[in-house]
Structure 1
Amino acid sequence: MKNPIQPKIGATFIPVKDVESARDWYCGLLSIEPTEEIVNGHLYVLRLQDGHNLVLDQKIYKKYRKHRAPLFHFNTTDIQESYTYVQDFEADNIGEIEFGEFFTFEDPDGNVLMVCECDNG
């Protein structure tokens, strides 16, 4: 049987306490205008430039199930400029730049995110 599963990720789900405020925070962080509607009262899809989707989901949010490892990383071609940008943004628990390549921070719901310097941005 031919494998019907494609070797690519279509979406990453992020549990959020309040989908409207999370939408505004992520759109602000990524300088994206909110263009989509909130779906079924608990989902918001951020369509990224690379075709990947971030799905902010209020229904799956549970305080006791926070991850301590990053859910994913955002690419950058300038780690220092990105670090300064996140410091000036409404982010929590911003770590130091490690190995000159990446740093972590938290969204308002405590989800750990990462920015990593990559050759292809």
Structure 2
Amino acid sequence: MGSPIQRRVGQVFVPVRDMAAAIGWYAALLGFEPGAASHEGTIYDIPTDGETRLSLDANRPDFEASGPPRFFLWTDDMAATVAHLRALDVRITSDVEDIGSVFLVQFEDPDGNALMVCQRA
């Protein structure tokens, strides 16, 4: 059975309430120079490596930040990642876990969105 829908993720949207604060926080987290939001200040495309795009979205500021992480980011150095999160005073919500194929750590952005970083085992 085929489908015209491709099994490739094009873009992930992260809901935020305060776009300027979110851009600054993600810039510090991911190491990029912050820029201006588009779409009348409601969308900010984070520079990414690879095909999948990551955007901050302030179109629905009344969202509920709950549930597990909806995506993860890669790292090659989990210890350096955890140290970086701590240096930024990020709320880390899990210990580093070894689930066999990857090591992972979970944390939250200032809006309470659950985020995760993984390192291949």
TM-score where L is the length of structure 1: 0.84
1:23 to partner: Cα distance: 0.9
The alignment's C-alpha RMSD in Å is 2.0
The one-letter code of the counterpart of 1:97 is V
Gaps spanning 5+ residues in structure 1: where? Answer: none
Is the 8 Å Cα contact of residues 71 and 115 (structure 2) preserved in structure 1?
yes
Matches within 5 A, 1:1-121: 3-35=3-35, 37-63=37-63, 65-99=64-98, 101-118=103-120
The one-letter code of the counterpart of 2:119 is E
1:11-52 deviations in Å (ceiling 9; x for gaps): 111110111110111111110112454322211111311122
The one-letter code of the counterpart of 1:45 is D
Structure-2 separation of matches of 1:82 and 1:118: 13
Structure-1 separation of matches of 2:18 and 2:36: 16
TM-score where L is the length of structure 2: 0.84
Is the 8 Å Cα contact of residues 66 and 110 (structure 1) preserved in structure 2?
yes
Is the 8 Å Cα contact of residues 16 and 61 (structure 2) preserved in structure 1?
yes
Q: What is the aligned-residue identity percentage?
A: 31
3-12 vs 99-108, which moves further: 3-12
Say how many residue pairs are matched. 117
1:34-86 deviations in Å (ceiling 9; x for gaps): 245432221111131112211111112325x2122012111011111111111
Structure-1 separation of matches of 2:109 and 2:84: 14
Gaps spanning 5+ residues in structure 2: where? Answer: none
Secondary structure of 1:61's partner? coil
